[in-house]
Amino acid sequence: MVLLMVGVYFNQVWAQDVIYYGSDSNAVRQVQQKLKDWGYMKDGVVDGHFGWKTEEAIKNFQRKNGLQVDGKAGRQTLNAMGLGNLLQKAPAQTTYQSSRATSTRDETYMLAQAINGEARGEPYIGQVAVAAVILNRVEHPSFPNSISGVIFQPGAFTAVADGQMFLDPNESAFKAAKDALAGWDPSSGAIYYYNPVTSTNRWIYSRPIIKTIGKHVFAS
């Protein structure tokens, strides 16, 4: 369930069980440094941000050391790296509260998947706008009141129907999800968007247009 708040943004942490997307930057930095020192992260940088390069480096480490290959730095992986103490020290997840919505890390990941599937290749502001439409629907009485409910509402998004939703989201999609959850709405309150070149839904053209960003028209 997504809980609506007014004008507040803060981070909340609880028991650590894995280091993954959204984990504490200090913990991520220590993991990255080990991977870098041992040659598993040749192209990545030690910046405290858990991105896809960090995930791939962890997978390589796990393969090499006979561990479950999931790209997450859980207890067994961290122990193998000599970093088991991080499980007690670092926050595992982040809750984003804003004037728009509250989201767990899993919902942030799901939102990033939707952005990646629906707006991959669009300008960054357009990616945030797509995320904002999803969050606007969460707040709107005509739509489900959760991020998952909105995304998986039957027939709502092409990316769910064609499987694009289930691709691994890139770093731009994660950043766009977090920016939208933090309150940025480039869509100006839109609850619909469509590509006029590819859309076959004639009804959508009856909706009042708010603006166009990239290839998408945003409407109310």
**Phi, psi torsion values for 11, nearest 5 degrees:** -105, 140
Mark the ranges of the chain whose per-residue pLDDT is less than 50: 1-15, 90-102
Would 178 be classed as within a structural domain? yes
- Give me the pLDDT at residue 44, please: 78
Would 97 be classed as within a structural domain? no
Residue with the two structure tokens 């940025």: 184
Give the DSSP per-residue string, the chain: -PPP-SS-----------B-TT--HHHHHHHHHHHHHTTS-SS---SS---HHHHHHHHHHHHHTT---SS-B-HHHHHHTT-TTHHHHS-----EE-SS-EE-HHHHHHHHHHHHHHHTTS-HHHHHHHHHHHHHHHHSTTS-SSHHHHHTSTTS-HHHHHSGGGSPP-HHHHHHHHHHHTT--TTSS-SEEE-TTT---GGGGGSPEEEEETTEEEE-
- Give me the pLDDT at residue 22, please: 65
Q: Indicate whether 81 and 106 sit together in one domain.
A: no
- Give me the pLDDT at residue 105, please: 63
Q: Give residue 157's domain range.
A: 102-219
Report the candidate in 79, 55, 49 with the shortest Cα–Cα distance to residue 67. Answer: 79
Of 64, 89, 114, which residue is a domain's last? 89
Would 157 be classed as within a structural domain? yes
Q: Indicate whether 63 and 130 sit together in one domain.
A: no
- Give me the pLDDT at residue 103, please: 53
- Give me the pLDDT at residue 92, please: 41
Would 158 be classed as within a structural domain? yes
Q: Indicate whether 81 and 109 sit together in one domain.
A: no
Q: Indicate whether 29 and 127 sit together in one domain.
A: no
Would 1 be classed as within a structural domain? no
How far apart are the C-alpha atoms of 186 and 172, rounded to whole Å?
Answer: 16
Would 188 be classed as within a structural domain? yes
Q: Indicate whether 113 and 201 sit together in one domain.
A: yes
Q: Indicate whether 115 and 43 sit together in one domain.
A: no
Would 14 be classed as within a structural domain? no
Q: Indicate whether 120 and 185 sit together in one domain.
A: yes
How far apart are the C-alpha atoms of 146 and 140, rounded to whole Å?
Answer: 11
Strand duo 102-103 + 96-97: pairing: antiparallel
Q: Indicate whether 155 and 209 sit together in one domain.
A: yes
Q: Indicate whether 74 and 29 sit together in one domain.
A: yes
Cα→Cα distances 159→114, 116, 118, 128, Å? 7, 9, 6, 16
As for how many domains the chain has, the answer is 2
- Give me the pLDDT at residue 201, please: 82
Residue 182 belongs to domain with CATH number: 1.10.10.2520
Tens of pLDDT, residue by residue over 150-193, are: 888 888 898 888 888 888 889 999 999 989 988 889 999 999 99
Q: Indicate whether 130 and 185 sit together in one domain.
A: yes
Of 45, 60, 89, which residue is a domain's last? 89
